[in-house]
C-alpha cells in the first residue's frame, strides 16, 4: 500500500513528481519568446547559420546553469531556490535582496507581462479587449496623464486570479495544470514545426540567405543576450523544491531533462522558420511563427499560432505563480518578511498567503501598465544575483565541504565557471546598452536595505 508523501520540515507537502517538475521547467521557459525572438537575433548576426550557433551557445550555457543548480537543489531541497543558495553561500542579506527584487519587480513583473501578453494574443480574435473601460484620475498614464484601464487588463487580472486560486487549493492541482498545459503547448508547437518542415513552399536555400546586420563579436553577443533571456526560467523549479517527491533524484532530472527539451524545441522551431522564410523576412517580422503559418495555411494558420501562444503563455504564467510564490514564503519563514506570509494553509498545505500576495501585486502592476519598465530595471541586478547563485556551487564546496551532495555538478568547476562568464557577458552588455536602467535597478534593490535591517532586528529580538 502506497504511503502518502511526507511533508517537508516546514509543513509543505511533497506531491510533485519528476514529470510535473520537468513541466515547470519547460512550461515556464517557453512563453512567447519562441514566436518572436528569432527576428531580433538574425538582425544582430545576419545569417540563419549564426542564429543556430547562438541558440546552441545559449542553450549550452543554460544547461551549464541547470547542471550547477542541480547540485544545489539536491543538497538543499527547500522552498525559495536562489534565495536559499544565496543565503547559505553569502549570508542572509543577499538572499533577502534576491527575494525583495523577485517579489516587487522581477517575478511579479514577469507575471504581469505574461498575463498582458495573453490578452494581446486573445485580442486578435476579440479586438474589443483593446478598448478603454474607464479612465482613472491617477497621473500614471503617458507623460503623467490620467491612467486608462482597458478591458483586456481586466481579463489579464482575471487569468492571474484564476491561476492563483488553482495553486491556492493545492500544489498537486497546480502541478497537474502545469503538466497538462505544458504537454498541450509542446504538442501544438510540435505541430507548427512539422507543418513548417513539411511545407512544399519551404527551401533549404533559405538557410544560406543573409540580411544586413552588425555582425561580428558584438552582434553575436547581442543575439546571445536575447537567447539567454528566451531560455530564462529553467531555474524556477528550484523555488518549489520543498514540494517535490524524492528531490535528491527528481530535481536534477527535472532541471537537466527540462533544459535539454527546451534546447531541442527551440532549434527545431528555428529550423522550421528559416526553412519557410528567408532571413530578410524573418528580420522584418515581429511575429515569425505567425508569418510562417500565414504563408503556408493563410489566416487560419496565423490564428493557430495565436492559440498556441496563448496556451504557451498560460502554462508559463501558472509556473511563475506556482514557483515564484515560494520565495516570499521562504523569506517570511526566516523572519525577513511579514510573518503572515509564512502561513501554510491547514488543509491544502500550500503557502496560501504568499500566493495571494504575489498575485495581488502582479494584478496591480497589470493595472499600472508599468511592469515592462520596471522589469527592464532589474535585468541587470537580477543577472548579478543569478551569477552569484551559480557561483555558490564553488563557494559552498569550500565553505561547507561536508554538506551531503546527492548530485555533484558534471564538469565541476568549469561548468559553473562557464555559466558565470556567460552571465558576466550579459551584465556587461546590459550595462552598456541600458546604463540608466541598470543603475535604477540597483537603486530599487538597495531600497530593500532598511527593510532588511528592520526585519533582521525584529527576528533576533
Digit-coded pLDDT (tens) for 131-144: 888 888 776 666 66
Is 13 in a helix, a strand, or coil?
A: strand
CA-CA-CA-CA torsion sign (247, 252, 256, 262): positive
* pLDDT digits 0-9 by tens, 346-380: 999 999 999 999 999 999 988 887 666 666 677 77
Per-residue model confidence as pLDDT tens digits over 197-214: 999 998 999 999 988 877
Q: For position 124, what pLDDT does the model report?
A: 82
* Model confidence at 344: pLDDT above 50: yes
Highest mean pLDDT of the ranges 31-35, 91-95, 219-223:
91-95
Q: What is the pLDDT of residue 251?
A: 93
Q: Which positions ≥6 away from 395 have C-beta within 8 Å?
A: 89, 90
| Residue 432 burial (CB count, 10 A) | 10
425 versus 312: the higher-pLDDT residue is 312
Question: DSSP string of 116-174?
Answer: HHHHHHHTTT-GGGGSEEEEES-S-SGGGPPEEEEHHHHHHHHHHHHHHHHHHT-HHHH
**Alpha helices (H) along 400-448:** 414-433, 435-446
- Dihedral in degrees, nearest 10, Cα atoms 83, 87, 93, 97: -10
Q: Which pLDDT score, from 0 to 100, does residue 438 have?
A: 82
Cell 520540515, residue located = 9
Q: How far is CA 254 from the centre of its chain?
A: 15
- Does 4 have pLDDT greater than 60? no
Angle CA 83–88–92, to nearest 5: 65
Buried b (16+ CB within 10 A) or exposed e, 352-391: bbbbbbbbebbbebbbbbebeebbbbbbbbbbbbbbbbbb
Q: Which residues are within 8 A (CB) of 181 and not within 5 positions of it... i.e. 6 or more apart?
A: 27, 311, 314, 315, 318
Burial degree of 154 (CB within 10 A; 0-12, 13-18, 19+): middle
pLDDT at 163 over 70: yes
37-55 confidence digits (pLDDT tens): 888 889 989 899 999 999 9
Provide the residue ranges of all domains of the chain, joining segments of one domain with +.
18-460
What pLDDT is attached to residue 461?
67
Instruction: Quote the pLDDT of residue 352.
Output: 94
Largest CA distance in the chain: 72
Kind and range of the H or E run holding 236:
none
Residue 143: its pLDDT value, please?
Answer: 61
Smallest CA-to-CA distance from 394 within 61, 57, 71 is with 71
Asked whether residue 191 carries a pLDDT value surpassing 80, the answer given is: yes
Q: Examine residue 413 and say whether the peptide bond preceding it is cis (omega within 30 degrees of 0).
A: yes
In the CATH hierarchy, which fold is given to the domain comprising 18-460?
Amino acid/polyamine transporter I (1.20.1740)
Residue corresponding to grid cell 534576491: 98
Please state whether 80 falls in left (phi above 0), alpha (psi between -120 and 50) or beta.
left
Residue in the structure block whose three cell numbers are 540567405: 209
- Listed in sequence order, the residues at least 6 apart from 69 whose beta carbon sits closer than 8 Å to its beta carbon are 85, 235, 238, 255, 389, 390
Per the listing, cell 535604477 goes with: 440
The pLDDT value given to residue 3: 45
Contact assessment for residue 275 and residue 206, using Cβ atoms and an 8 Å cutoff: yes
* Range with lowest mean pLDDT among 107-116, 162-171, 253-262, 313-322: 107-116
Query: What pLDDT score does 2 carry?
Result: 43
pLDDT score at 141:
64
Express each pLDDT in 266-281 by its tens digit: 999 999 999 999 999 9
- What average pLDDT does the structure give for the chain? 89
Amino acid at each position: 500500500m502506497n504511503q502518502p508523501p511526507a511533508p517537508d520540515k516546514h509543513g509543505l507537502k511533497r506531491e510533485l513528481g519528476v514529470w510535473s517538475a520537468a513541466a515547470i521547467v519547460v512550461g515556464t521557459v517557453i512563453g512567447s519568446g519562441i514566436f518572436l525572438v528569432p527576428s531580433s537575433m538574425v538582425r544582430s548576426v545576419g545569417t540563419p547559420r549564426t542564429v543556430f550557433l547562438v541558440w546552441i551557445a545559449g542553450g549550452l550555457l543554460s544547461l551549464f546553469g541547470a547542471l550547477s543548480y542541480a547540485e544545489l537543489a539536491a543538497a538543499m531541497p527547500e522552498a525559495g531556490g536562489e534565495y536559499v543558495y544565496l543565503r547559505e553561500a553569502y549570508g542572509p542579506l543577499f538572499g533577502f535582496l534576491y527575494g525583495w527584487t523577485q517579489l516587487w519587480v522581477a517575478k511579479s513583473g514577469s507575471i504581469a507581462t505574461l498575463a498582458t501578453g495573453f490578452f494581446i494574443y486573445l485580442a486578435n480574435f476579440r479586438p474589443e479587449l483593446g478598448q478603454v473601460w474607464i479612465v482613472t484620475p491617477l497621473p500614471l498614464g503617458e507623460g503623467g496623464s490620467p491612467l486608462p484601464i482597458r478591458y483586456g487588463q481586466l481579463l489579464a487580472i482575471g487569468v492571474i486570479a484564476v491561476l492563483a486560486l488553482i495553486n491556492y487549493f493545492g500544489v498537486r492541482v497546480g502541478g497537474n495544470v502545469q503538466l497538462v498545459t505544458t504537454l498541450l503547448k509542446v504538442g501544438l508547437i510540435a505541430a507548427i514545426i512539422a507543418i513548417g518542415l513539411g511545407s512544399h513552399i519551404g527551401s533549404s536555400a533559405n538557410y544560406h540567405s543573409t540580411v544586413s546586420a552588425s555582425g561580428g563579436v558584438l552582434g553575436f553577443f547581442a543575439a546571445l543576450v536575447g537567447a539567454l533571456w528566451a531560455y530564462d526560467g529553467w531555474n524556477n523549479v528550484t523555488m518549489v523544491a520543498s514540494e517535490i517527491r524524492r528531490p535528491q533524484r527528481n530535481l536534477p532530472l527535472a532541471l537537466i531533462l527540462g533544459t535539454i527539451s527546451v534546447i531541442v524545441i527551440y532549434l527545431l522551431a528555428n529550423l522550421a522558420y528559416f526553412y519557410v522564410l528567408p532571413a530578410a523576412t524573418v528580420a522584418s517580422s515581429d511575429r515569425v511563427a505567425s508569418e510562417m503559418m500565414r504563408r503556408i495555411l493563410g489566416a487560419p494558420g496565423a490564428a493557430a499560432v495565436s492559440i498556441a501562444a496563448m496556451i504557451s503563455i498560460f502554462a508559463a504564467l501558472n509556473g511563475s505563480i506556482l514557483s515564484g510564490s515560494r520565495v516570499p514564503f521562504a523569506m517570511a519563514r526566516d523572519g525577513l518578511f511579514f510573518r503572515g506570509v509564512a502561513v501554510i494553509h491547514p488543509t491544502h498545505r500550500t503557502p496560501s498567503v504568499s500566493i495571494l500576495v504575489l498575485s495581488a501585486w502582479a494584478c496591480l502592476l497589470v493595472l499600472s501598465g508599468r511592469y515592462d519598465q520596471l522589469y527592464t530595471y532589474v535585468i541587470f541586478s537580477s543577472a548579478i544575483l543569478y551569477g552569484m547563485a551559480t557561483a555558490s556551487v564553488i563557494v559552498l564546496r569550500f565553505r561547507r565541504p561536508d554538506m551531503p551532495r546527492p548530485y555533484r555538478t558534471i564538469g565541476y568547476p568549469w561548468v559553473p565557471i562557464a555559466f558565470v562568464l556567460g552571465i558576466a557577458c550579459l551584465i556587461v552588455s546590459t550595462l552598456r546598452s541600458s546604463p540608466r536602467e541598470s543603475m535604477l535597478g540597483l537603486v530599487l534593490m538597495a531600497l530593500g536595505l532598511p527593510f532588511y535591517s528592520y526585519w533582521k532586528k525584529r527576528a533576533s529580538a
